[in-house]
Amino acid sequence: MNIKKRKAEEVVFKALMVSACVVVSSSLFLIVGTIVAKGLPYLSWDMVSKVPQGGFYIGKEGGVLNAIIGSLYLAGGATVLGLLLSIPISIYLNIYLKSGSPLSKSAKLAYDVLFGIPSIVYGAFAFSIMIWLGVRASLFGGIIAVTLLIIPILVRTLDEVITTVPKELKHAALSLGATRWEAAKVILRQIKPGIYTAILLAFGRGIGDVASVLFTAGFSDNIPKYIDEPAATLPLAIFFQLGSPIPEVQGRAYASALILTIIILAIVIVSHVLAAKQTKHKI
Amino acid sequence: MTPHPLIRVRDLNVHIDDHHILKHININIPDKSVTSIIGPSGCGKTTLLKTFNRLLDDTANVKVTGSVLVHDEDIYAPHAEVTHIRKKMGLLSQRPFPLPMSIYDNVAYGPRIHGIRKKSELDSIVEQQLKDTGLWEEVKDRLHSPAAKLSIGQQQRLCLARGLAVEPEIILGDESTSALDPLSTHKIEDLFVRLKEKYTIVLVTHILRQARRISDYIVFVYMGEIIEFGPTEEVLLDPKEELTKQYVKGFIS
């Protein structure tokens, strides 16, 4: 192949890559731009400080504080519960089990499958458990459904982070006479920044999901005081308001979407800052 | 045949998956001296080293038969306490892997997990081990800065100090200088020679000149079998086996 042809090929593929990057990143601006343009005029102090008052859904007084708090409770509760389960899982699979053991391989395959299951299926599954237990739609039910949804995300992310740790680090601790649990603690120190990434991904997924909480968390105009009370969520609040023919209510739907986006943005920034602080001792 | 064997290996066989990695290994590793395991890549020399501190346990589908006696304790006996066995053997790997913590905490890690809590005691262990490995003067003003900030040669000496802090009897080195520059290599080699007064040292190396410089005994391993074992001069200068001759001359690698 002559040099002209090779150079032409280089130019063509570079152009394809650049245009793909431009299209994707501009669509992000388009999404955020739409939400800001349509939502910002309706974003008021009332929106974030009040729960729906009488007639809120036909354009009167109130805000979506119930949904903001409900979403934070749900995603926060599920992330904490998810971490409590997934950190031990990934430690067991990667540190306790020998590298390449059949159990670890099949467990990882199972998590890959769970990762691909749509959230409505988790919602339906959690719902059937709730019926069996006699629990009604509540914060508790929602947290269980979202936890099921985010555990595969947490396990897979932690798994990828742990596999980047050289196994010699584990061997270094073991050869000093450490037990496997002590070696695991050394590795956890090494992957702290990765844990924040996992939390970020799980929380972001949890706070934005509708299908898993549709049947399980219910909806309420009040802020839940107890875990057995139904809880509103921002995605559902957006859904209800967007379905209204009243322009005022539709605008509030975009304002709610803006609030959700700001919350996620805040989580991204906080987790990046925390992760950056934790790299001091990383080898 | 050798004075005071510390490690005695009896009919050791190692299979990984379906491969017979080590075949009928019998050897006595002499106490308070440097023994180098040499041989071509993939001959099983690292595997042999890893059987001594049972790090081989961490690999899937490994089958070990036979026995490895340290003093008179079989470390492959069913009830052998693995953490206790590993504590007796310091490991220096190919590249330094400091723990993700400060210089001080790296050295104090071992003593801490084995129950030493008193700060004054830990302080003196850290100082002593860093002095023994020649690091003290270089790091005494930044003991609490991250170990990862040290140069790679310093990191390797730190790893040695960390290993010595748990008071092992044996030091295992797995090509411990292969990632280091000549000056750092020289420092580590000097340390090995000095440390053999107090410790039994077993090294895996593929550098014949290094084996000649620092070891008292040499084990030549080929295709999972011990071909020859004896004092350094004998094995390198006047090998008895044809295979050893060829390896020493550089015909097989």
* Any domain includes A202: yes
Q: Give a yes or no: residue A90 inside a domain.
A: yes
Q: Could you tell me the pLDDT band of residue B253, with boundaries at 50, 70 and 90?
A: low
Share of chain B above pLDDT 90, in %: 83
Q: Could you give the residue ranges of the DSSP H alpha helices within chain A?
A: 3-39, 45-49, 65-91, 102-116, 119-133, 139-163, 167-175, 180-190, 192-208, 211-214, 234-242, 247-277
Inside any domain, residue A40: no
Q: CB atoms < 10 A from the CB of A206, how many?
A: 28
On the question of pLDDT at B56 being above 60, the answer is yes
Whether residues A282 and B100 touch (CB distance < 8 A) is answered with: yes
Interface test with B, best of A95, A96, A175, A186 (most B CBs within 10 A): A175
In the predicted model, is pLDDT for residue B1 greater than 60? no
Count: domains in chain A = 1
| pLDDT for B2 beyond 70 | no
**Using the beta-carbon criterion (under 8 Å), do B100 and A175 form an inter-chain contact?**
no
Euclidean distance between CA atoms B231 and B33, whole angstroms? 11
Structural domain includes residue A26 = no
Q: What is the pLDDT of residue B72?
A: 86
Query: Which residue is it, tokens 């306490």?
Result: B81
Residues from chain A contacting residue B104 (CB–CB below 8 Å): none
Q: Which of A199, A200, A213 is nearest to A264 (CA)?
A: A200
C-alpha A146/C-alpha A72 separation (Å) is 12
Where do the H-state alpha helices sit in B54-181?
Answer: 82-87, 103-113, 119-132, 136-139, 152-164
CA distance B59 to B54: 10
pLDDT for A1 equals 66
- Band (pLDDT 50/70/90 cuts) for residue B251 is confident
Among candidates B143, B69, B63, B66, which has minimal Cα distance to B108? B143
Q: Is the pLDDT of residue A279 over 80?
A: no
| pLDDT (mean) for A190-199 | 91
Question: Considering Cα of B212, then B218, then B221, then B222, what sign does the dihedral take?
Answer: positive
B105 or B58: which leads in pLDDT: B105
- What are the residues facing B89 on neighbouring strands? B170
Q: Which two tokens stand for residue A146?
A: 């979202």
User: What does the alpha-carbon distance between residue B128 and residue B19 come to, in Å, rounded to a whole number?
Assistant: 44
A55-59, A263-267, B238-242: the lowest-pLDDT one:
A55-59
Q: Using one digit for the tens of pLDDT, what is the confidence trace for B111-137?
A: 999 999 999 999 999 999 999 999 999
Q: Are B156 and B97 in contact (CB under 8 A)?
A: no
Per CB-CB distance under 8 Å, the chain A contacts of B102 are: 281
Number of cross-chain residue pairs from A and B with Cβ atoms under 8 Å apart? 88
Residue A59, in any domain of the structure: no
- The mean pLDDT value for B130-154 works out to 93
Per-residue pLDDT band for B96 (boundaries 50, 70, 90) equals: very high
Name the percent of chain A lying above pLDDT 90.
67
Quote the mean pLDDT of chain B. 92
Written as six digits, the tokens of B60 are 């899937």
**pLDDT for A159 beyond 60:** yes
Beta carbons of B178 and B94 less than 8 angstroms apart: yes
Q: Between B42 and A146, name the one with better pLDDT.
A: A146
The neighbour count for residue A276, using CB atoms within 10 Å, is: 11
Q: What is the pLDDT of residue B210?
A: 92
Q: What angle do CA B231, B236, B237 make, to 5 degrees?
A: 100
Give the distance from CA A248 to its chain's centroid: 30
The count of other CB atoms within 10 Å of the CB of residue B138 is 15
For residue A149, give the H/E element and its range. Answer: helix A139-163
Q: How far, in Å, CA of B39 to CA of B223, rounded? A: 9
**Would you state the pLDDT for residue B3?**
60
3-state DSSP assignment of residue A257: helix
Look up tokens 């957006």; give the residue: A238
User: Which of B84, B86, B99, B103 to substitute to test the interface with A, most A CBs within 10 Å?
Assistant: B99
Please state which CATH number belongs to domain B5-249: 3.40.50.300
What CATH number is attached to the domain comprising A229? 1.10.3720.10
What confidence score (pLDDT) does residue B203 get? 95
Quick: pLDDT tens for B157-191: 999 999 999 999 999 999 999 989 999 999 999 99
| Domain encompassing residue A146 | 70-281
A194 inside domain = yes
Query: pLDDT tens digit string along A73-102?
Result: 999 999 999 999 999 999 999 888 877 788
